[in-house]
Structures are given as structure tokens and as C-alpha cells.
Structure 1
Amino acid sequence: MFHDSLPDFTAIALIFLVAGAVKGILGLGLPTVALGLLGLVMPVPAAAALMTVPSLVTNVWQAAVGPGLRALLARTATLQVGIVAGVLAAGVLLPEARDEFGRRLLGGCLVAYGLLGAMGRRLPPPPPRWEPLLGGLVGATTGVVTAFTGVFVLPAVPYLQSLGLDKDALTQALGIGFTTSTLALAGLLATRGHFGVAASASSALMVLPALAGMWFGQQVRGWMSEAAFRRSFFFGLLALGDWLLLR
């Protein structure tokens, strides 16, 4: 999966360093940024396989640290089940997306997510009695999108933002959902031959720059305005998504 030259290896490591920093500041964004940038230089399935191990390690770290893991698991149980079901359904019932389709779908997801973030829009909070049903539907849709693009953000992230969780709980809930998505996607990629031993080893090499970036991002959060960074981040996603759609 890696090119043999050191400059290419360094460039990919820098992509994960940047993506990890974004995740450290915002609590999300590693797969979105990493896949968006890697998608410019390699096929989407290959980029998704390369992202799997760093995403899993950082997501487990994020999910384990927070105010109430057990309560969040119970509240978002149908969301997690829906994600797995959506990934499996897409893998079994739908043909594997061609690289061009995957790139365009990824671009559309980046544009949609960037627009939502730039406008500061959030979904209205759902009635508590509807949360289990809506969580399952949102999870299944997220799983299908994940199977085609490797991106876990839509529509799960806007849905979780609508639940009225505080900052720490929201960050932990995102980590739980991202962990579920990463594991489901890894299974799908393995069944399609995109995540063998070589791909696993290559992906594992990117854990260190991703963790270093995540640590750096957490430090930056202490002095940098998160609101300002959020605006820059979402407008950056818009530009990157537009570029992917127009390629």
C-alpha cells in the first residue's frame, strides 16, 4: 500500500499527524480529514484500509475517557446496532463502489458536513421515546455511508449533537460511535480483500503520527479558540469536498 519512496511515506505520516491534531481539538475529524486528503492520491478503499488502525486506537482512547461510558452505551445502543447492520447490509446487498463513485460520494459527504458545521445548524432534539427508533435508523444510514466512503460522520454526528449532551459526554459518545464504525468497516474491508496482513501492518505504522497529532491537538485546545478553528475546519472540508466532486 505504501510507496517505496521516503517522501511519499513522510507525506502520508504528515496527513495522519494533521488528522490526529484535528481530532484532538474537536473530538472528531480524523477519518474525515485523513480520507479526504488520502483520497487525492490513492483509491478510496486503499485509503480506508490505511486509516483503520489509527482510527480505532484513537477512538477507543476517546470512548474510554469520559463521564459515563455505561450510560452512553445504553442510550446509544440502537445507534451502534444500526451502524453494524448498515455496513453489513451494504457489503452483502450492494456492489462494491467503483473508485470514482466512492470519491464523489466522499466529496458529497464532506460538502454536506462542512455546510452544516459552517452554518452552525443542529437537528432539533428528538423526543426521548423516539430515540431508540431514530438511533437505529440514523445508525443504519451511517453504516451504509461508511461502507461506501469510510467516513463515519453523517448522519450520526448531527444526530448525537441533537441529544443535548454536554461537551465531555458528546465527545465520549462520538468516540463510541466511531469505534463501532471502525470495527464494522474493518470487517467489511477484510472480506473484500482490502485489509490483509500487509494493509494491517501499513495501517499500524500510522498509529504513532495519529496519536502524536491527537496529543498536540489537545494541547492546542488550551490556547486556541475552538470556535475559530471549527469555522476554518468546516470551510476547509467544503473546499476539499468541492475539489473531489469536480475531479
Structure 2
Amino acid sequence: MNDADLILFIAATFLLAGFVKGVIGLGLPTIAVGILGVVMAPAQAAALLVVPNLITNGWQIAAGPRLKAMLIRLWPMLAGICAGTWAGAGLLEQQKNGSATLWLGIALVLYALVGLKAAKLRVPTGAEIWLAPLIGIATGIATAATGVFVLPAVPYLQALGLDKDELVQALGISFIVSTLALSIGLVGAGALDMQVAWNSLLALAPALAGMAAGTAVRSRISAAAFKLCFFAGLLALGGYLVLRAAS
């Protein structure tokens, strides 16, 4: 693939990933790392995602309804994400056979199927205080191994009973902290330097364009339709990860 084709491939990938993120609040790293893995190593793809992740999640956070209250509620999980990501630093560079991505995809498919069957997961009253840090640590380790931020943070946040706008904001907060924590690990592993950061900045425009289109779609759908899109999107993302890792 020549340079011009590679640029078009990357732009199309971020346009698609941004659109999915705009609709359901997640999917940018999952789609981008999965598709870009065709032409580059997972650690390189994760490094390319840094700027688009930071800006799109910043937008997602700013558009939400209750930022201060959400930060106060989520900080134990966020601290756990940082600890888990840094504890697993280097796992992404070491991944050769795709086994971590395969298991992540399988777990995502199972969770999506449970959600589509209308099973209601709920965090019990009083459990949040001890469960949140554990969820954060597990999410951080999964992030360090795969470059994808979805499990188990997404099911946990969905089980808190947030409305669609609160959920999208909470996802944005979780993802931006994961991005910052992973970036520190990538710098330490030598996968993120100024050249890669510049390339990551160039990927921002198509990601924002896709997210703007997806956000417009989300603003026009009902809570029930959003839930269906959310779990169907998770099912598609999980299925893609399984196929990608197994191929």
C-alpha cells in the first residue's frame, strides 16, 4: 500500500469509527485498532488514536449534563483504570497472537447478547464503593493488553442506571482517562513520539466529522432506539474483534 492509499485508508477508518462513537458513545478505538491492524502493529494503531481519542471524548464529556457529579461518582473506577493500565504497561507491544483481543471480543459479544435480551444488569446499593476500583483495575489491564477500553467498564457503567446522555458522558470520562493512562505507557514503550503524535493529529479531522454525523443521529432517536443501537453496536464490535483475532 503506497502512502496516498494508506492516508485514505486511515481517514476512512476514522470517519467510520467517529460515526459509530457519535451514535452510541463508544467504538472509536475498537474499530480503529481492529481495522488499522490490517496495515500496522496494534501498538502503532493505538498510538495513532491518542489525539482523536482525547478530543472526541472531551467533546463527549462537555456535551453531557452533570460533569462534576459524574466525576465525584466515578473517581474510584478512574483511579483503578490508571493503576491497571500502568501495571500492564508493555502488554500491547508483546501481543503477537491476538489472544487478548479474541477473548475481549467474545466477552463483548456475550454482554451484547445479554443486553439485547433485555436483561437488566444493576450494581447493588452499597456495592459501588468497592466494585468501582476493581472494575477500573480490570479495565486498565485489558486496555494495556488490547488498546481497547470497553471491558468491563462499559457493562459496569451501563449497570449504574444512567440515562442515555449521562451514560455517553460517563463513557467519555472513562475513555479519556484510559487514553491518557495508555499514552504514558506507549511513551515509555517507545511507541509514541512526536512524529506519531503529528500523524495522530491528522487523524482528528475525519474522526470529528464522523462523530458530528453520529451525534446528530443520536439526538433524533428515542431512549429505546438508543439502547438497541448501543447493544447492537457492541455485538458488531465484539464480532469484528473475534473475526479479526481468529483470522
TM over 0.5: yes
Aligned to 1:14: 12
Distance in structure 1 (CA, Å) of the matches to 2:120 and 2:147:
23
What TM-score does the superposition give when structure 2 sets the normalisation length?
0.90
1:10-89 map, 5 Å: 10-89=8-87
Aligned to 2:94: 98
Aligned to 2:162: 165
Aligned to 2:193: 196
| SS in structure 1 at match of 2:190 | coil
Residue deviations 1:138-181 (CA, integer Å, cap 9, x gap): 00110011011111110001001111111111111111111100
Residue deviations 1:57-93 (CA, integer Å, cap 9, x gap): 10011112221111110001100100001111112xx
Aligned to 2:123: 125
Aligned to 2:239: 239
Match for 1:141: what amino acid? A
1:125-144 map, 5 Å: 125-127=123-125, 129-144=126-141
Residue deviations 1:80-124 (CA, integer Å, cap 9, x gap): 100001111112xx76652424x3312321232133113315533
What TM-score does the superposition give when structure 1 sets the normalisation length?
0.90
The Cα of 1:29 is off from its aligned counterpart by 1.1
**8 Å Cα contact 1:126-1:162 kept in structure 2:** no
The count of residues paired between Structure 1 and Structure 2 equals: 241
The Cα of 1:41 is off from its aligned counterpart by 2.5
The Cα of 1:242 is off from its aligned counterpart by 2.4
| SS in structure 2 at match of 1:100 | coil
Structure-2 change in CA distance of 1:40 and 1:95 (3 Å): closer
| SS in structure 1 at match of 2:122 | coil
Q: Which runs of 5+ in 1 are unaligned?
A: none
Match for 1:68: what amino acid? R
Distance in structure 2 (CA, Å) of the matches to 1:111 and 1:40:
20
Match for 1:116: what amino acid? Y
Cα RMSD (Å): 2.0
Q: Which runs of 5+ in 2 are unaligned?
A: none
Residue deviations 1:190-222 (CA, integer Å, cap 9, x gap): 111000011101111000000000001122335
Match for 1:82: what amino acid? G
**8 Å Cα contact 1:138-1:159 kept in structure 2:** yes
Structure-2 change in CA distance of 1:196 and 1:229 (3 Å): same
Structure-2 change in CA distance of 1:7 and 1:32 (3 Å): same
Matched, 1:116 2:114: no
Distance in structure 2 (CA, Å) of the matches to 1:219 and 1:154:
26
Structure-2 change in CA distance of 1:126 and 1:104 (3 Å): same
Is 162-171 or 193-202 further displaced after alignment? 162-171
Is 49-58 or 233-242 further displaced after alignment? 233-242
**8 Å Cα contact 1:81-1:136 kept in structure 2:** yes
Q: Percent identity, aligned pairs only? A: 42
Match for 1:134: what amino acid? L
Distance in structure 2 (CA, Å) of the matches to 1:59 and 1:95:
24
